[in-house]
Amino acid sequence: MALPKAKEDALAARLAALPAVEGKGWLAAARSEALARLSAMGLPGRRDEYWRYTDPASLNAPEAPVARRFDASDEAAPFDGIDRVRLVFVDGVFDAAASDDPALAGVTIERLAEAGRRDIHWAQGLYGVLEARGQTPVARPFAALNTGFASDGVLIHVTGRAAKPVSLVYVHEAETSDAILHHCVKLDPGAELTLLENGPAAARFSKVLEVEVAEGARFHHIRLQGRDHERRAVTHIFARLGAGAEFRSFTLTANGRLTRNEAVVELAGAEARAHVAGAAVGDGDFHHDDTVFITHAAEACESRQVFKKVLMNGAVGVFQGKILVKPGAQKTDGYQISQSLLLDEDSQFLAKPELEIYADDVKCSHGSTSGAIDETALFYLQSRGVPRRTAQALLVLAFLAEAIDEVADETIAEDIRARLERWLARHGSRG
């Protein structure tokens, strides 16, 4: 089906501004297929069902809007004390000198830019494959664009239990940097890996992460999106889980003019578990969108979506979350909660929680709320001598607790709480 003229022009302009990507063999094939997908769907517009709450204009624009980098050196870099394999990208360009030697027992790590030059590679079975599967029933044009034009990324094959996490560090330098990274992680049966990501990455950042978690394998993902106020990001996680596999992903977002984080998870083997969680705090010019789609395609799987947002001074939060239970996916246990704490009347939360169930023996619950801080609790704390600001921070952290509890590593969870406390102290709302 042909695209409307306006959509066609917008896509042509966007594509014309993209730098040419090199690559032959398998990667070139995957890219051209992605381009075909993108050409068929076009770039998103406000009238598309999953873009009603978030304006894609700045992501559609041929040039990345200017975003100054933010100096976050007043606090230690995330994951500082953790023994990990660090791989650094500056404005989307791999920085070998700043990175660790990617040697890790049970894990092979390669750069997409290098692996893509080969004729055949294991990543052929993953790169763009989960992304393509994730295009139905909901189109995700920016993911296809990413597959077609990613300049680099990492390909991680995990055959055993990784002794330490792999840590991707994204540095934002240039005011108009426009980074496109695409990572693939393949975990063999029983393998385990923790992937850490942090940093604002670029003025505009597009990232796709495809993860294949085989039977009994475990993948933990913790992401801190940096403190830049002006950056924009559109990210996708596509995951597919085998029997008994575990997938856990947590994202902390503080600041950022625009963030669209999509997670598309398919529970394909029995008794697989997927937890996707996020805590977002925004003050002022902040728009944060979590769009999640979880498919239960096998029996006795568990999924949890826990998303909490704290919004002030006109910040906007969006949650679009769906649980699809396919025929035959009996004994599904699905849970979804999305809540916002609005610290003033200027901020808003838009939520679209959805359940679609085609099996009868299923336990699914979902809830979405937005509300102000509990003034009675605030007064109770103050009456015990706790200053209003401290009391407010305590209540805000209590509100976020359920999301942060999804971080399995207690040291990291504690660090995240401390970061949020400092953020709240800096942004402490009026009153």
Partner 1 sequence: MLEIKNLHVKLEEEDKVILRGVDLKIGPGEVHAIMGPNGSGKSTLSYVLSGRDGYEVTEGSATLDGQELLEMEPEERAAAGLFLAFQYPVEIPGVGNMTFLRTAVNAQRKARGEEELSAGDFLKIVREKAKTLKIDAEMLKRPVNVGFSGGEKKRNEILQMAMLEPRMCILDETDSGLDVDAMKLVSDGVNALRDGKRSFLVITHYQRLLDHIKPDVVHIMAGGRIVRTGGPDLALEVEQNGYADILNEVG
Chain positions 144 to 183 lying near partner 1, rule: CB under 8 A, are: none
Q: Which is nearer to partner 1, 172 or 309 (CB)?
A: 309
Using DSSP bridges, classify how beta strands 85-90 and 166-171 pair: parallel, antiparallel or unpaired: parallel
Burial of 327 (0-12, 13-18, 19+ CB in 10 A): exposed
DSSP H helical segments within 267-359, as ranges?
Answer: none
Q: Which is nearer to partner 1, 117 or 417 (CB)?
A: 417
Instruction: Verify binding: residue 428, partner 1, rule CB under 8 A.
Output: no
Tell me how far, at minimum, the Cβ of 429 lies from partner 1, in Å.
16
Instruction: Verify binding: residue 430, partner 1, rule CB under 8 A.
Output: no
Q: Which is nearer to partner 1, 15 or 394 (CB)?
A: 394
Tell me how far, at minimum, the Cβ of 294 lies from partner 1, in Å.
25
Helix (H) or strand (E) holding 308: strand 302-312
3-state helix, strand, coil in the chain (%, to 5): 25, 40, 40
Chain positions 105 to 144 lying near partner 1, rule: CB under 8 A, are: none
Tell me how far, at minimum, the Cβ of 360 lies from partner 1, in Å.
33
Contacting residue, 86, 164, 326, 388, with partner 1 by CB under 8 A:
388
Tell me how far, at minimum, the Cβ of 395 lies from partner 1, in Å.
7
Tell me how far, at minimum, the Cβ of 231 lies from partner 1, in Å.
30
Contacting residue, 74, 385, 410, 430, with partner 1 by CB under 8 A:
385
Tell me how far, at minimum, the Cβ of 349 lies from partner 1, in Å.
19
Q: Which is nearer to partner 1, 358 or 379 (CB)?
A: 379
Give dist(CA 169, CA 181) in Å, integer. Answer: 12
Considering only 64-72, 119-127, 298-306, 397-405, which stretch makes contact with partner 1 by CB under 8 A?
397-405
Considering only 76-84, 135-143, 217-225, 384-392, which stretch makes contact with partner 1 by CB under 8 A?
384-392
Give dist(CA 246, CA 304) in Å, integer. Answer: 12
Tell me how far, at minimum, the Cβ of 388 lies from partner 1, in Å.
7
Give dist(CA 36, CA 18) in Å, integer. Answer: 16
Q: Which is nearer to partner 1, 268 or 342 (CB)?
A: 342
Q: Which is nearer to partner 1, 270 or 386 (CB)?
A: 386
Strands (E), 154-245: 154-158, 166-171, 178-187, 192-198, 204-213, 218-224, 232-241
Give dist(CA 298, CA 300) in Å, integer. Answer: 7
Coil, strand or helix: which one is 382? helix
Instruction: Verify binding: residue 387, partner 1, rule CB under 8 A.
Output: yes
**How many amino acids of this chain bind partner 1 (CB under 8 A)?**
23
Three-point CA angle 39, 92, 126, nearest 5°: 55
Q: Binding pattern to partner 1, positions 323-362, x when CB under 8 A? A: ----------------------------------------
Burial of 372 (0-12, 13-18, 19+ CB in 10 A): exposed
* Two structure tokens written together for 195: 């992937």
* Two structure tokens written together for 424: 């709240």
DSSP 8-state assignment for residue 2 = P
Instruction: Verify binding: residue 394, partner 1, rule CB under 8 A.
Output: yes
Helix (H) or strand (E) holding 38: helix 25-41
Tell me how far, at minimum, the Cβ of 314 lies from partner 1, in Å.
24
Contacting residue, 390, 421, 427, 428, with partner 1 by CB under 8 A:
390
* Two structure tokens written together for 84: 């990990």
Tell me how far, at minimum, the Cβ of 347 lies from partner 1, in Å.
20
Using alpha carbons, select from 206, 214, 216, 269 the residue that is nearest to residue 237: 206
Tell me how far, at minimum, the Cβ of 78 lies from partner 1, in Å.
24
Tell me how far, at minimum, the Cβ of 334 lies from partner 1, in Å.
23
Instruction: Verify binding: residue 384, partner 1, rule CB under 8 A.
Output: yes
Give dist(CA 124, CA 7) in Å, integer. Answer: 30
* Two structure tokens written together for 256: 């950022």
The upper half-sphere exposure of residue 394, i.e. CA atoms within 13 Å in the direction of its Cβ, equals 14
94 contacts 171 by C-beta, under 8 angstroms: no
Give dist(CA 5, CA 74) in Å, integer. Answer: 49
Considering only 150-158, 185-193, 236-244, 374-382, which stretch makes contact with partner 1 by CB under 8 A?
374-382
Q: Which is nearer to partner 1, 299 or 415 (CB)?
A: 415
Chain positions 401 to 420 lying near partner 1, rule: CB under 8 A, are: 401-402
Using CB under 8 A as the criterion, which residues of the chain lie in contact with partner 1 when the complex forms? 374-377, 379-388, 390-391, 394-395, 397-399, 401-402
